[in-house]
Structure 1
Amino acid sequence: MDQINWGIIGCGDVTEVKSGPAFNKVPHSALVAVMRRDAQKADDYARRHQVPAWYTDADALINDPNVNAVYVATPPDSHADYAIRAMRAGKPVYVEKPMALNAAECALMNQVSRETGVPLFVAFYRRALPYFLRVKQLIDDGAIGAIRMVNVTLNWQPDDREVVAGRGWRVSPVISGGGLFHDLASHQFDLLEFMLGPIKTASGIARNQARLYEADDVVVATFAFESGVVGTGSWCFTVNKEQRMEHTQLIGSKGKITFSFFENFIITVDTASGTETISVPFPEHVQQPLIELIVNALRGGPDSPSTGETGARSSRILDWITIAKS
């Protein structure tokens, strides 16, 4: 492919700033069509973002001859269906995270990608963001020596939009695959593997304590990397705002790196020499760096750092931690 003409299935909130505008800002890339079941909302999105065509039917977008790549930005329960339809139509797919409801669906998507020879990518865009690449560089450069341990902490207060009668797809397991843990920890485990290598084992306890919605609201986990690094994590989504906390610590033989997945742009490096604070802001459209790498890959350049194969690993880890619930 020389020019990558994208069609978006599901032009909701994530596409407004994080991803949608980036398709027109990356060289050799354009957003040419969008699909949403609500015709008024599809038309509105197309007009605001200067998109030439809009549809209310996914197959119509997939079969549009002007579309040669598809971005699936719906909730996870339809990721596998839409991605498989697009791949069977010969069109490369970029799918939102979590990649699907569970590891089994991810495996099926990757199987279709192999059978058709059509590329599949996943929106784990932190693999291309300068902030997280800086953390990886610190690790690779031995800034804190050999990595011994990882600790992930995320304590957030309930979101009013999701606790009123359990509204919001992220807290509906049949739509999201789990709860807020699935939505957020998928990013965390994917990036930890990108920085530290494959996770070999993981287990945990998942509970619904507050009964504000159907999904689990507290999760604790332990995990181990093939390299020998071990990790722990805790996620609680029902604290008050004064207890809000989110950071990840990498403990090394010569120091510690503290960074955030979601809350700020600061990296702190503590060693015997003192404390160094590094600030790396996010770009306006956080998915743009990864989208550019995917466009380059589709045009014959180097492979993307985030593919269906890497994306499926994160879902498998989530399954390991939450399925037993004991």
Structure 2
Amino acid sequence: MEKVRFGIIGIGNIGTVHTRYLLAGVVKEACLTAVCDNDPAKHRAIRALVGEPVALFSDAEEMLTSGLIDAVIVATPHYDHPRLSIMAMRHGIHTLCEKPAGVYTAQVQEMNACARECDLVFGIMYNQRPNPLYQKVKELIESGELGEIRRSNWIITNWYRSQSYYNSGGWRATWKGEGGGVLLNQDPHQLDLWQWLVGMPVRLRAFCQFGKHRQIEVEDDVTAYAEYANGATGVFITTVAETPGTNRLEIAGDRGKVVVEEGKLRYWRLRESETEFNARWQNGFGEPECWEVSIPVAPECSDHHVITANFCAAVLRGEPLIAPGLEGINGLTLSNAMHLSTWTDDWVTLPLDEKQYLRLLQQRITTSVEKEATSRTLDASGTW
């Protein structure tokens, strides 16, 4: 195999993004040979987008068994991610799933079990992982430069979404159609990076506001506090209704601090660890000598095609995945825990009580209101 033949299931906002870069040949080891969308009303526009050489299907299984593809990108609404990914893997198709891996962790457990059984490549479209800014932060943490992590704080409020965005699809921002709001749609990138960098907490307390700023059922404003096994703490703040928004990640250890904001990385290094300084210092006021260190970082890059190119390298040459599918459950665990903490008005201890979460989610699905909306495919080319 010289090139990986891709199919795409779901040609909506993000599916169109994947379609365009594959058709443009941006990923040298990939080609688009088939697409699938179960809405016949969209097929004329899809055909105009992909041209005649690309096969167009209405049924996913028909595409998966057509012999036209080696791999598939699952880009449908969230609830279908596990079902379609499992179906693809059962048919011997390498699978790259859009974020989030699913709506609730019990779904993704089944997904992961299937992935373990199949000798196939399974990845998640976490296109922020290859961003050199976060790669460098991970390097600083793993090398011990920051020392023991004591605190992390992520303010991610530049996910602005207007009411017209939510009105562009009947499934959007409903418990029945999407299963969550900003945590499930926009923040999977940051939730994945947060746990990828500092690990998973042992317990979490969250305050989600549902339909506070938009006419939606699900959360549009969240503040969460997390505690870790080593005593470290973390705060995660997000909303879709703040402009100008902020994207600031701050991680402090006992040997320094790193901040990522506005596409830049700043690093402060202590000449000696705070722990050692505190043990020896006898003069009352004072603090460890601190240097701001300039660290070389490659230009920021978070395009989806980087993950797809890496996925192709895994299929063709066995190279390690940047975002393995098996890790897709971690960020979802955090968003589920934030929902559950708010619903129960209490702390949530990890591992998550999956049965309790699903029971409470099902209650909300039962009362979810059918939303009348005219489906529109929006230009998502400038999003993450």
Superposition TM-score, scaled by structure 1 size: 0.85
- Going from structure 1 to structure 2, the CA distance change for 1:101 and 1:155 (only over 3 Å counts) comes to same
**Residue in structure 2 matched with residue 31 of structure 1 by the alignment:** 32
**Residue in structure 2 matched with residue 5 of structure 1 by the alignment:** 5
**Residue in structure 2 matched with residue 269 of structure 1 by the alignment:** 267
1:281 partner amino acid: P
Q: How many Å separate the matches in 2 of 1:77 and 1:198?
A: 24
Q: Does 1:317 align with 2:334?
A: yes
**Residue in structure 2 matched with residue 302 of structure 1 by the alignment:** 319
Deviation at 1:169, TM superposition (A): 4.6
**Residue in structure 2 matched with residue 245 of structure 1 by the alignment:** 246
Q: Deviations over 1:118-171 (max 9, x none)?
A: 43211112222323212222333444443211011133555242365x857552
**Residue in structure 2 matched with residue 40 of structure 1 by the alignment:** 44
Q: How many Å separate the matches in 1 of 2:57 and 2:102?
A: 23
Q: How many Å separate the matches in 1 of 2:192 and 2:310?
A: 17
Q: How many Å separate the matches in 2 of 1:22 and 1:314?
A: 27
Q: Among residues 217, 220, 230, which one is paired with 1:217 in the alignment?
A: 220
Q: Does 1:234 align with 2:237?
A: yes
Q: How many Å separate the matches in 2 of 1:76 and 1:20?
A: 21
Helix, strand or coil at the partner of 2:219:
coil
2:224 partner amino acid: A
Alpha carbon RMSD of aligned pairs, Å?
2.7
- Asked if structure 1 preserves the Cα contact closer than 8 Å seen for 2:204 and 2:341, the reply is no
The 5 Å alignment of 1:20-169 reads 20-22=20-22, 24-36=25-37, 37=39, 38-47=42-51, 52-156=54-158, 157-162=160-165, 169=171
Q: How many Å separate the matches in 2 of 1:28 and 1:179?
A: 35
Q: Deviations over 1:71-101 (max 9, x none)?
A: 1011212112211221111111100001111
Helix, strand or coil at the partner of 1:124:
coil
Identical columns (%):
22
Deviation at 1:229, TM superposition (A): 3.3
Q: Deviations over 1:194-225 (max 9, x none)?
A: 22334443332222234521111222212234
2:291 partner amino acid: S
- Asked if structure 2 preserves the Cα contact closer than 8 Å seen for 1:197 and 1:226, the reply is no
- Asked if structure 1 preserves the Cα contact closer than 8 Å seen for 2:206 and 2:222, the reply is yes
1:30 partner amino acid: C
- Going from structure 1 to structure 2, the CA distance change for 1:185 and 1:224 (only over 3 Å counts) comes to farther
The 5 Å alignment of 1:286-297 reads 286-297=303-314
Q: How many Å separate the matches in 2 of 1:103 and 1:16?
A: 27
- Asked if structure 2 preserves the Cα contact closer than 8 Å seen for 1:5 and 1:66, the reply is yes
**Residue in structure 1 matched with residue 194 of structure 2 by the alignment:** 192
Q: How many Å separate the matches in 2 of 1:278 and 1:213?
A: 43
Superposition TM-score, scaled by structure 2 size: 0.73
1:222 partner amino acid: Y
**Residue in structure 1 matched with residue 299 of structure 2 by the alignment:** 281
Gaps of 5+ in 2: 270-289, 346-384
- Going from structure 1 to structure 2, the CA distance change for 1:103 and 1:116 (only over 3 Å counts) comes to same
- Asked if structure 2 preserves the Cα contact closer than 8 Å seen for 1:248 and 1:258, the reply is yes
Q: How many Å separate the matches in 2 of 1:18 and 1:89?
A: 22
Q: How many Å separate the matches in 2 of 1:80 and 1:307?
A: 15
Deviation at 1:270, TM superposition (A): 3.5
Gaps of 5+ in 1: none
Helix, strand or coil at the partner of 2:204:
strand
